[in-house]
Structure 1
């Protein structure tokens, strides 16, 4: 029986994911989560995109919100010109699905806020579901750049902004450190030693992917 337990858990998680679809979560979510989209806005977006039309609606701020992608468990929404929202359903062992929301704000700099919600839209404390990457995690040495050079480049970053993205076809969450206000040559040097930090959902929390 024990050898079949992992298979049983996997099948149960798959059934839970099938039972709860992103279209339904998006339609029923509290207005307060997105702020400027009403339920009618969201229902219109779903109707448009499922009928192969541009899913563009006028929101509460009299601007436009555009639903760019909608799958069984993933959503990509341009909430405003300066705010992109990604949502992902994450299967869990003790509930139907958690809902991961990544809000990326762009302006002079770009930064992402990632939040994990329970099925009834309560926010989970960060320490319960992810060890967010430290500044040093984004840097690595290689054959062309030694530790001293990496340390020098690290100290050029007065302001530290990180973006994050979810994926439509897997359970990964990827963080990327954005170079600060440095000249073009220094930015090119940074690109050689900056790396994304990748996590994968493991049923209860995001776990760092080995070698990433």
Structure 2
């Protein structure tokens, strides 16, 4: 009887541990991932989300404002500073996707994957752009525009609704006319994270 109770208790604890919601994932995140937003500040800003009369924001350790813009059971959007954003999505009970975006002359993002214990996992996608030549464009013009695609910055956005990420590309070194021309061959792309 004692063994049966211990096994049942262990299964119950394991099921609660694996069924974390986004708030719990946010609070369990190691301080080393966002050193200027320790656990105390993350708890404080998360508590403000539930309070109707409080803005869900705190002053972080950089003396900047951190604000939770959206928090659901499996998705979170946080403006970490005036120049950076963090998106997190619970893909399943064992995987978390994070997208860190920094805003300089153009947005640039990094996708990182973690298990439920915050051990980093490999990311398999390279997010190469999809380039399509319109029927009305000559091959020479297409090749000329393709040559303008380097260097490029990538902006990633996690979907609040499903386990996907959308990639768009910025070519901050190009003139306005060149950007417009390149946009005619460059396609935004959605990738599945399953």
Give the TM-score band, short-chain normalised.
0.7 to 0.9
Aligned to 1:99: 96
Task: Give yes or no for the alignment of 1:197 onto 2:193.
Answer: no
Aligned to 1:21: 21
Aligned to 1:124: 121
Task: Give yes or no for the alignment of 1:112 onto 2:109.
Answer: yes
Q: 1:147 to 1:171 in 2, by over 3 A?
A: farther
Q: Distance in 1 between matches of 2:103 and 2:70?
A: 20
Q: Distance in 1 between matches of 2:45 and 2:73?
A: 15
The count of residues paired between Structure 1 and Structure 2 equals: 179
Bigger Rg, structure 1 or 2: 2
TM-score when scaled to structure 2?
0.84
Q: Distance in 2 between matches of 1:143 and 1:119?
A: 47
2:179 partner SS: helix
Please say if residues 31 and 38 of structure 1, whose CA atoms lie closer than 8 Å, have aligned partners that are also in contact: yes
Please say if residues 166 and 174 of structure 1, whose CA atoms lie closer than 8 Å, have aligned partners that are also in contact: yes
TM-score when scaled to structure 1?
0.78
1:159 partner SS: coil
RMSD value, Cα: 2.0
Please say if residues 150 and 171 of structure 2, whose CA atoms lie closer than 8 Å, have aligned partners that are also in contact: no
Q: How far off is 1:17 after superposition?
A: 11
Q: 1:17 to 1:148 in 2, by over 3 A?
A: farther
Q: 1:145 to 1:180 in 2, by over 3 A?
A: farther
For structure 2, list consecutive stretches of 5 or more residues without a partner in the other structure: 1-14
Aligned to 1:73: 74
Deviations along 1:135-180, one digit per CA (max 9) or x if unpaired, are xx33111233344322211212342211111011111111111123
Q: How far off is 1:186 after superposition?
A: 1.6
Task: Give yes or no for the alignment of 1:169 onto 2:169.
Answer: no
Q: 1:74 to 1:18 in 2, by over 3 A?
A: farther
